[in-house]
């Protein structure tokens, strides 16, 4: 096989393009790192002293609000699962005029409801920062069902979970 002129030109172009001494691509320095700003408020929600019996669950819900920086016009909204009763929620202050830096408020509320499935509880807090910016912060937790979820099994290389039977009609 005889080398032809087109093949030699192509080979020469490939060798010279990869040869050192050509223009070096410009590498940009990494951009400055950005840090998310710290929120002005911390909200914690937890369940404590859960007692179960007769298909019901009872316990305490602890809501803690701590100001990292001074905040104003704090509004608290509690949103439990509709099946959970939180009778003391009406006594929860809906608005707090001001929380100073480092100041905290702790609220304990009793709850009761069925324990046949997982029941979510959520708290949302709206507040204004010192510069007047309105912010919303939320926290949540779940009252776990008294029955554990069915265990899965490995079958033909796939992990299978049996269906969960729901008791009664669902609205």
Alpha-carbon distance of 19 to 89, in angstroms, equals 76
- Tell me the backbone φ, ψ of residue 38, rounded to 5 degrees: -75, 135
Domain that holds residue 85: 41-137
Is 0.85 topped by the overall pTM? no
Cβ-count burial of 65 within 10 angstroms (0-12 exposed, 13-18 middle, 19+ buried)?
A: buried
For residue 84, is it within any domain?
yes
Give pLDDT tens digits for 84-118: 888 888 788 878 899 999 999 999 999 998 888 88
Alpha-carbon distance of 83 to 165, in angstroms, equals 19
Q: Are 74 and 126 in contact (CB under 8 A)?
A: yes
For residue 108, is it within any domain?
yes
Strands 153-155 and 95-99, by their bridges, are unpaired
Q: How many domains does the chain fold into?
A: 1
Looking at residue 31, what is its pLDDT?
60
Who has greater pLDDT, 79 or 163?
A: 79
Q: How confident is the model at residue 5 (pLDDT cuts 50, 70, 90)?
A: confident
How much of the chain exceeds pLDDT 90, in percent? 26
For residue 161, is it within any domain?
no
As beta bridge partners, residue 58 has 51, 112
- CA-based radius of gyration for the chain: 31
Looking at residue 144, what is its pLDDT?
84
Question: Mean pLDDT, to the nearest integer, of 51-60?
Answer: 88
- Tell me, what CATH number does 113's domain have? 2.60.40.10
For residue 116, is it within any domain?
yes
Alpha-carbon distance of 157 to 122, in angstroms, equals 39
Whether residue 82 has pLDDT greater than 60: yes
Whether residue 19 has pLDDT greater than 60: no
Looking at residue 159, what is its pLDDT?
72
Looking at residue 70, what is its pLDDT?
92
For residue 25, is it within any domain?
no
For residue 8, is it within any domain?
no
Handedness of CA 81, 84, 87, 92 (dihedral sign): negative
């Amino acid at each position: 096989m005889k080398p032809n002129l087109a093949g030699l030109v192509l080979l020469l172009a490939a060798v010279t393009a990869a040869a050192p001494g050509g223009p070096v691509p410009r590498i940009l320095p990494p951009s400055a790192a950005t840090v998310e700003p710290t929120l002005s408020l911390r909200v914690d929600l937890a369940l404590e002293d859960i007692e179960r019996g007769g298909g019901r669950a009872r316990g305490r819900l602890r809501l803690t609000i701590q100001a990292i920086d001074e905040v104003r016009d704090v509004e608290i909204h509690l949103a439990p699962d509709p099946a959970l009763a939180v009778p003391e929620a009406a006594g929860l202050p809906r608005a707090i005029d001001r929380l100073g830096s480092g100041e905290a408020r702790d609220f304990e509320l009793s709850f009761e409801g069925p324990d046949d499935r997982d029941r979510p509880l959520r708290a949302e807090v709206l507040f204004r920062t010192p510069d007047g910016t309105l912010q919303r912060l939320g926290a949540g937790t779940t009252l776990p069902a008294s029955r554990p979820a069915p265990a899965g099994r490995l079958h033909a290389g796939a992990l299978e979970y049996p269906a969960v039977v729901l008791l009664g009609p669902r609205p």
